[in-house]
Chain A
């Protein structure tokens, strides 16, 4: 009796150990109380369930299940909290791979901890170029860092300019105007400053006239003064750099004033599904740079977006590309037959991965190689209550960009 009991305990212990060894641990690092963290986690959950349902990741002829570790970095409020969370998942939870991050200042500190431990860290939220520059400056230390989403900030600017150029061409044709007039509306925060300066230098080269720059507060609820000045200046395009609730105010009040100008740029509120209701249905024609839409950026985009909407009852934001990050690692692990970071780095460097948000390949800084139709993102516009993708036009499923009637 006693012998049977001991054997049962030993078998149970062995089974538990085997199960523990049979997982690949992915730490998902994000500000979980914020929408960015929610999407980090949601994207990762979708990848985990899909992989585990299909049997797991093949590592050297052995199938291993995906295990996720949820780590709230609280990075929006505290950089030390973010570093502590990174250390915890590495030394306590024994994570094999790190994915996530959002606030660039915090991600720079998190990157240091991951590199100290030689852990592969796939960035899925921070855009600052310095993260990739570290790889170029000190390859041996920082080679474990790769950026999955978004493209680095100078490339985000390239995307904005490319879309603006396309809108400008359409305006030239329909309005018979050689030089469309652009008003820049940028919220009064630090991140908009370099983009504004670059825009003021770039737009004249694109044969566009800058009629002025307006800087409301990021939380302004009334921008009628700015909009009436923009109307008087005869602007055709309102180029927005807005991350706060002012994006809603601008969309609603442009609609209320029946403005002939069309808004395009970055409008974070405009990326959300709730934008139309928040503007009381007045946000027609507001357009913004975005990542996900039901459009065939890759063959995987539409099924992913639909499955995401069905599961979470809302559309994914760009940080949900943690899904792609896990899939990238799965492909690399299966190709290399190991989870060893040093062996995976060269595999990742040579890889071209067709994901849900982009077709990704990496440069010498381990940044995404920017290419229209692959990693440059998409342009979306609110048209009669629907967020309609319009750019890049060559992608299947894109619809025409619309302008208010004149």
Chain B
């Protein structure tokens, strides 16, 4: 009884006080109950894939949004996780419950290597250099087709679970854990350092921060999350192919990140949950299904035109406001700050 009351008090004081947190809780609960409310296998499939891509997008945001290491070749980590898990599972008969972690660790290794090689690069030079890595990986895969399956990749993989619902829960729980974990990292002192590196690396170093170590760590953490997403993806669709390393996937994650709002973690996740099902839904219309990519591009452009910081910061700024005195966030319709009591309506402060 004590724990229930304490839990309710926490919810009331920490979650329900802000619309954004309430929305996140509602979204997580909706994901958890979806199979019981609407168990359509097609819908569950779309949401499963959405969860896996949301993990991937969040991992990109930690690297590009928080640290400013804008990676144009993030598919490398996704593909490395997919291929490593698939090959170990298939060639050694290891259960995918183990190999997905191996895939994530191999991707982490790739993250460290890429991070090390790109340590001295910044801005567009870094982005262009990272773009090359998945192409190199593709070249290597095609050079050793007997090992990698060549153009067709590795197929006939085992699923993590046998039923549609169980696979759905694997993806949802993994996504919630990874996204929450990344958000905790981003919200910690470590995350503050990442902000500092992004905003002014020289100043950060002058303050005594070992920036190369932080950059390498964030490359590794981001690659781990992307690799785990890739490994889960491969075992879900039962194929790990060159499409997991394609440039299109690398750019897709950049679009999700910018559309949702960088340096937020939840922004790219929201973007995936909007854009991926939307594109799929558009594809189901016979009349204009084949124009879905064009419609998708128009929607993205319009959102970026009117919401240059991305969708989720724009929405958040309209439903919440920050106190000008203590900087705590409040509901937009409150007249006084929930913590310090400072007036809000007349001095609405929107942090940029």
Contact = CB atoms under 8 A, between A and B. Distances in A.
B119 to A, nearest CB: 33
B49, B242, B248, B289 — most chain A CB neighbours (10 Å): B289
Interface in B232-275: 237-239, 241-243, 248
Contacts of B151: 104-105, 190-191
A78 interface: yes
B245 to A, nearest CB: 12
A80 B41 contact: no
Nearest to B290: A33
A85 interface: yes
Given A78-B243, A105-B151, A105-B241, 10 more contacts: A72-B283, A84-B46, A84-B49, A88-B42, A91-B40, A91-B42, A92-B40, A112-B238, A193-B145, A194-B145
A72 B285 CA distance: 10
A109 B49 CA distance: 14
Contact of B284 (A88, A91, A108, A130): A88
Given A33-B290, A70-B286, A87 B238 contact: no
A91 B164 CA distance: 12
A77 B152 contact: no
A341 interface: no
Nearest to B243: A79
Contacts of B150: 190
A327 to B, nearest CB: 24
B338 interface: no
Contacts of A80: 49, 237
A322 B283 CA distance: 22
B248 A84 contact: no
B153 interface: yes
Contact of B239 (A70, A74, A105, A191): A105
Contact of A105 (B41, B45, B142, B242): B242
9 contacts: A32-B289, A79-B243, A81-B283, A84-B283, A87-B42, A91-B41, A104-B152, A105-B241, A108-B239
A349 interface: no
A104 B242 CA distance: 12
Interface in B148-168: 150-153, 155-156
Contacts of A104: 151-152
Given A72-B289, A91-B40, A109-B238, A85 B45 contact: no
A56 to B, nearest CB: 23
Ordered nearest first, which 5 A-B pairs have the shortest CB separation?
A: A105-B241, A108-B155, A91-B41, A109-B239, A79-B243
A130 B42 contact: no
A83 B152 CA distance: 15
Contact of A79 (B241, B284, B286): B241
Interface residues on A, range: 20 to 34
B187 interface: no
A128 interface: yes
Contact of B280 (A84, A128, A130, A137): A84
B277 to A, nearest CB: 10
A373 B91 CA distance: 40
B199 to A, nearest CB: 36
B239 to A, nearest CB: 5
A134 interface: yes
Interface string B137-151: 000001001000011
Interface in A84-106: 84-85, 87-88, 90-92, 104-106
Nearest to A108: B155
Contacts of B293: 77
A106 B286 CA distance: 21
Nearest to B45: A87
B40 A105 contact: no
A84 B45 contact: yes
Contacts of B156: 108, 134, 137
A136 to B, nearest CB: 12
Interface string A30-41: 001100000000
A78 B247 CA distance: 12
Nearest to A70: B286
Interface string A176-193: 000000000000001101
Contacts of B243: 78-79, 105-106
A134 B152 CA distance: 14
Contacts of A109: 155, 237-239
